[in-house]
Chain A
């Protein structure tokens, strides 16, 4: 009787595809969690967790393809994005000592629904561009949809929050989405390019650090609400 129940069931993705897709979806879900999170420090920790998922993704891919440069990439992104960047941002936050919670322009439910809408868009677009042929050596294509959705929801996070830290975290998680996409499309990209991307992120951290400090010194808050009142 069970046989008849299972007769029409489509095959599941292979174990490797399943694990990697689950990790990519985890990256996507963390952005949703960031949308929901009020506390800035918790948001930064979520970013660290998201980066851990991206590094794990690179690690799984490296193990599957026996590619030493991917191991190097996984290790580097682990050190930089899980440890260095979050601890730098947390330290900056510790210095300013105001604003435990970020500034919210819309309610959580609105933000989540907007996030869902843009991720539907991302999934549909990726579903229609037929990149399956290119992804022969990398991750399965559904992970690409998750990556596109991550980038788009990070935009929502940046737009819906009115404080410098959330916007920085949104920018960093956008970079994580791009990393997932690059693992899908061009896993065997030369290592030097990947490392170049990672150091781009460091430049962004420095820039955001300067913005946070300057903004806090001038307006003694992290909220961007007052930005339109500043005069030259």
Chain B
């Protein structure tokens, strides 16, 4: 039985929406195990969200309507990206042509920007510190993202994520070409930085001075905080999906709109995101966080990788 394209498209968003807290919980569990702790339940993020949705929302005095709108805007923005990238199917769905990789990046950045703007409104020094840092480091990692996009464009002659995934699958030679490997590693570093992982940020820390993304939600409470937390889990899953399904392992996606393959793609999606997350958890446990002023070195390495990818392509071959 074939599903209508709209249903598959909706299922992509729904899968990301429902699986994101599970992925976060599973990674937190693995991380705790690696540190020799028992760790929280895998389903703990769902309980947290349920608890937060029952609480009341408080806004600081003087904050405008944007403070309450921002979590919703960010949540919506992060949920729009699964329409554009290969989540369950390896062929583009009708809305998949709505935006290219740059479009997806723009929408992700819009979500981050709205949260940062809301944090800047609160008057809480830590939230403002976080939003200023998030914008600064976001701007520093952006050149690497651009060069990764250039690499994709040079390899595929389009800038659709589906095309990149299809090219990776098409032959071994395409998968191991140096430009692709370099771009994949550079994007891996971008994801490390964008999901607030060590060496850029300690995501589970309570120490305000090292915080970047985490500090922005300090003043939010209740359902707004729940949306923020859920939104960042979704952003993390979306980035993992792009890393796995576009750059490193675009296999296991449904090749048609039949019910079986599409439904089978959901657990495979979880498995891949969990695999990527486990790598991140291992990195979290082996490296130490960089000092804030050393983070530029990290961004410089990501930029060097992506720039070399473009260079190698320029010489033909690559």
- Tell me the A residues contacting B by CB distance below 8 Å: 1-2, 5-6, 8-15, 17-19, 21-22, 24-25, 28-29, 32-33, 36, 107-109, 112-113, 115-116, 119-120, 123-124, 126-127, 140-142, 145-146, 149
Contacts and interface: CB of A to CB of B under 8 A. Distances in A.
Contacts of A36: 297, 300-301
Nearest to A123: B311
A18 B92 contact: no
Contacts of A126: 315
Interface residues of B, number: 40
A21 B300 contact: no
Secondary structure type dominating chain A contacts: helix
Given A12-B171, A25-B178, A141 B312 contact: no
Contacts of B308: 25, 28-29, 32, 116, 119
A146 B157 contact: no
Given A108-B296, A116-B303, 16 more contacts: A5-B166, A6-B166, A9-B157, A12-B171, A13-B318, A15-B176, A17-B317, A22-B177, A29-B308, A108-B300, A109-B296, A112-B297, A112-B300, A124-B314, A127-B315, A142-B316
Given A22-B176, A22-B181, A25-B182, A5 B163 contact: yes
B316 A9 contact: no
Given A5-B158, A12-B174, A13-B173, A142 B318 contact: yes
A153 to B, nearest CB: 10
Given A116-B304, A142-B316, A1 B91 contact: yes
A28 B297 CA distance: 18
A1 B182 CA distance: 28
A151 to B, nearest CB: 15
30 contacts: A1-B91, A5-B156, A6-B167, A8-B157, A11-B173, A12-B174, A13-B177, A13-B318, A15-B173, A15-B176, A18-B176, A24-B178, A25-B178, A25-B182, A25-B308, A29-B308, A36-B300, A107-B296, A112-B297, A120-B311, A123-B312, A126-B315, A127-B314, A127-B315, A140-B317, A141-B316, A142-B312, A142-B315, A145-B315, A146-B312
Interface in B156-184: 156-158, 160, 162-163, 166-167, 170-174, 176-178, 181-182
Nearest to B309: A25
Contacts of A11: 173
Given A19-B176, A108-B300, A109-B300, A6 B170 contact: yes
Interface of B: 90-92, 155-158, 160, 162-163, 166-167, 170-174, 176-178, 181-182, 294, 296-297, 299-301, 303-305, 307-308, 311-312, 314-318
B296 to A, nearest CB: 5
B163 A14 contact: no
A123 B315 contact: yes
A32 B182 CA distance: 13
B178 A22 contact: yes
B163 A6 contact: yes
B91 A18 contact: no
